[in-house]
Amino acid sequence: MVPPGIELRGLGLRYAGAAVFSGLHLTLTAGEFFVLLGPSGAGKTSLLRIIAGLEPPDEGLVAASDGAPLAGRVSYMAQQDLLLPWASALNNVMLGATLRGQLRDAARAAALLEEVGLTHRAHARPAELSGGERQRVALARTLYEDRPVVLMDEPFSSLDAITRVRMQDLAARLLAGRTVLLITHDPFEACRLGHGFTILSGSPARLAAPTRLPGLPPRAPDEDGILHLQGELLRQLAQGGA
């Protein structure tokens, strides 16, 4: 599985005639973790849905760097965990295989649950799990799909600070080597996880020039310079990404 890079070429989207964003250009380097920030309502979720192929853009196109179509190579992790309430954690992890009518690989699903530290909860239903555990099952389900491109829409925003830091470490470790686009409102998360970031803001929204972050993710929460990076990012956010 060689992950492709992703290119957004002149993407535009309108709802009821009003432009949400237009003329978006962005290149995601293959195998890197890229972070998208921006004020509420800027169109981040809409952009992610377009890349995931869930919605067509009104203008422009999304292309993979290897020229092959992206469809079928992207997995999507939303803000809600979207676990099936009637199914066990294990069966939730294997949802993709079930829906495609493929043979389900319970051994691999169990191994993924072990990776996210939930072996002992494999047969629990989502209602019996904590918020952090549910997000870990969702992460295992995303990994079970084994797609080279992973899109994440604020997946950890509903978690407490400690759980969130743990989830970030887990995601960074398990998603390493894939092309990842992560939406977050949290500058700290962006600075810990990203190879680079950009900001979507304005009306209609535009993308700021991407900023590369020094060093390699995941950066430790107390790493020198993280605080400085965060301050820098906050300033950019406050200036509307300019």
Partner 1 sequence: MIRPFVTIAVFIALWWAVTAFTAIPPFMLPTPQAVAEALWGQAGYLAANAWVTFCEIMLGLFAGTLLGGLAALGIAASRTLQRWLWPILVLSQAIPVFALAPLLVLWLGFGIGSKVSMAVLVIFFPVTANFLDGLRRTEPGLLDLARTMNASRLNLLLHLRLPAALPAFASGLRIAAAIAPIGAVLGEWVGASSGLGFVMINANARIQTALMFAALVILAAMTIGLYMAVDAALRRLLRWAPGG
Ligand X SMILES: Nc1ncnc2c1ncn2[C@@H]1O[C@H](COP(=O)(O)OP(=O)(O)OP(=O)(O)O)[C@@H](O)[C@H]1O
Q: State the residues that interact with partner 1 by CB under 8 A.
A: 49, 52-54, 72, 74-76, 78, 80, 82, 84-86, 95-96, 98-101, 125, 127, 145
End-to-end, the C-alpha distance of the chain in Å comes to: 37
Q: How far is the CB of 47 from ligand X (least distance, A)?
A: 7
Binding site residues, ligand X, CB under 6 A: 15, 20, 38, 40-46
Q: How far is the CB of 43 from Mg ion (least distance, A)?
A: 8
Contact range with Mg ion by CB under 5 A, out of 45-53, 86-94, 188-196, 207-215:
45-53
* Measured distance CA(109)–CA(159) in Å, rounded: 24
* Measured distance CA(28)–CA(230) in Å, rounded: 21
From candidates 29, 31, 45, 65, binder to Mg ion by CB under 5 A:
45
* Measured distance CA(103)–CA(100) in Å, rounded: 9
Which among ligand X, partner 1, Mg ion, none contacts residue 76 (Cβ within 5 to 8 A by kind)?
A: partner 1
Contact range with Mg ion by CB under 5 A, out of 41-49, 54-62, 93-101, 197-205:
41-49
Cβ proximity to ligand X: between 45 and 158 the closer is: 45
User: On the CB side of 184, how many CA atoms lie within 13 Å of its CA?
Assistant: 26
Beta strands 149-153 and 205-207 are unpaired
Q: How far is the CB of 40 from ligand X (least distance, A)?
A: 3
- Asked if 29 is part of the footprint of Mg ion (rule: CB under 5 A), the reply reads no
Q: How far is the CB of 230 from partner 1 (least distance, A)?
A: 30
Question: What's the Cα-to-Cα distance from 152 to each of 80, 94, 157, 242, rounded to whole Å?
Answer: 11, 19, 11, 24
Q: How far is the CB of 145 from partner 1 (least distance, A)?
A: 7
* Measured distance CA(47)–CA(138) in Å, rounded: 21
Look at residues 212, 162, 157 and name the one whose alpha carbon lies nearest to residue 33. Answer: 212
Residues within the interface to Mg ion (CB under 5 A): 45
